[in-house]
């Protein structure tokens, strides 16, 4: 079945460091890919998405590129801020299925 | 615009007791989802409603879990009787359209079963 694998956390960075959170997926069709973020005390919210191969999703300085050849959708940000501290979830939605499948989440901690 | 509302935020019960969670989705959102998030895991879909009807409940443990969405708006998720392994955060989400994968989540209801 469809699945998403994320790197384990926590990822601990200093402010202004470069961020990469790895995400790979397994799907039978041509899925759409998503990154959701959960800030402390808040619900999950959509950060960015990509619907087809080679698409790049971007939002709030974060980017992720849909790589079909490596079945990956890694999240990147050039310079993280303390306010980016949160849990990040990679997710996919396969064609023909309505279910959104989530990875286990990666906690990011950014220190000043 | 008001977000997805859930209550209660926290609930502690003993095993074999029952519990109910309530969700009010964003106005106009036809699709409503209940997810279970166990500590250290990603959210897992329990049930999805499209208006009043159930679209997917394949992962809902139907011997103890039930959910309804009356009049296509609010929804209630019930667990009876609860087990220790039901300790989790229960997330409600809604979406304007079914196929986009763009869900709006509430803050969740944290259940602890002792």
Q: What is the pLDDT of residues A37-69, one digit of tens each?
A: 999 988 899 999 999 999 999 999 999 999 999
Confidence grade of residue A89 (pLDDT, cut at 50, 70, 90): very high
Is B4 an interface residue toward A (CB < 8 Å)? yes
Averaging pLDDT over each range in A18-32, A86-100, B75-89, which range is the top one?
B75-89
Question: Is B1 in the A-facing interface, judged by CB distances under 8 Å?
Answer: no
Q: What is the CA radius of gyration of chain A?
A: 13
Mean pLDDT over B34-41 rounds to 93
B88-95 and A56-59 beta bridge pairing = unpaired
Our CA-based measurement puts residue A79 at a distance from the nearest CA of chain B, in whole angstroms, of 26
Q: Where are the alpha helices (DSSP H) in chain B?
A: none
Phi-psi region of A83 (alpha: psi -120 to 50; beta: other; left: phi over 0): alpha
pLDDT band at B99 (very low <50, low <70, confident <90, very high): confident
| Side-chain half-sphere exposure of B80, counting CA atoms within 13 A | 9
The two counts, helices (H) then strands (E), for chain A are 0, 12
Q: Cβ of B40 under 8 Å from any chain A Cβ?
A: yes
- Mean of the per-residue pLDDT values of chain B: 93
Look at phi and psi of residue B40 and say left if phi exceeds 0, alpha if psi is from -120 to 50, else beta.
left
pLDDT at B88: 97
Q: What is d(CA B66, CA B76) in angstroms, rounded to the nearest whole number?
A: 8
Average pLDDT over residues A71-85: 97
Q: Is the per-residue pLDDT at B9 higher than 80?
A: yes
- Examine the pLDDT at B70 and tell me if it is beyond 70: yes
């Amino acid at each position: 079945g469809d699945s998403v694998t994320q790197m384990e956390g926590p990822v601990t960075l200093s402010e202004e460091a470069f961020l990469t959170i790895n995400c790979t997926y397994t799907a039978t069709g041509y899925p759409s890919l998503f990154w959701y973020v959960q800030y402390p005390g808040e619900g999950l919210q959509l950060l960015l998405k990509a619907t087809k191969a080679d698409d790049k999703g971007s939002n709030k300085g974060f980017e992720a590129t849909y790589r079909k050849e490596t079945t990956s959708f890694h999240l990147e940000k050039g310079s993280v801020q303390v306010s980016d501290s949160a849990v990040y979830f990679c997710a996919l939605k396969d064609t023909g299925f309505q279910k959104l499948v989530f990875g286990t989440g990666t906690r990011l901690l950014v220190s000043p | 615009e008001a977000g997805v509302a859930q209550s209660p935020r926290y609930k502690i019960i003993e095993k074999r007791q029952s519990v109910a969670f309530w969700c009010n989705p964003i106005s106009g959102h036809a699709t409503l989802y209940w997810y279970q998030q166990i500590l250290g895991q990603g959210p897992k879909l329990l049930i999805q409603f499209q208006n009043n009807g159930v679209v997917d409940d394949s992962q809902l443990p139907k011997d103890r879990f039930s959910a309804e969405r009356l009049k296509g708006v609010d929804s209630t998720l019930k667990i009876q009787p609860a087990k220790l392994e039901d300790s989790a955060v229960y997330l409600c989400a809604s979406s304007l359209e079914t196929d986009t994968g763009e869900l709006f989540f509430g803050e969740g209801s944290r259940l602890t079963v002792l």
